[in-house]
Amino acid sequence: MEFPTEIIGEKGYIKVEGDLDTEQSGEALRAAFNSVYDRGKKTIVLDLTGVQIINSYGIGKVLMCYKRLKADNGVLMVKPLQGFVKETFELLMLDKLLPVDG
Q: What is the CA radius of gyration of the chain?
A: 12
Query: In 3-state terms, what secondary structure has residue 98?
Result: coil
Tell me: does residue 84 bind other proteins (CB under 8 A).
Answer: yes
Tell me: does residue 18 bind other proteins (CB under 8 A).
Answer: yes
Quote the CA–CA distance of 1 and 96 in Å, as a whole number.
Answer: 29
Nearer to other proteins, 39 or 56 (CB): 56
Residues numbered 33 to 52 that lie near other proteins (CB under 8 A) are 49-50, 52
Give me the amino acid identity at 38: D
Residue positions counted in the chain: 102
- Interacting residues toward other proteins by CB under 8 A: 17-19, 21-23, 26-27, 30, 49-50, 52-53, 55-57, 59-61, 63-64, 66-67, 70, 83-84, 87-88, 91-94, 96-97
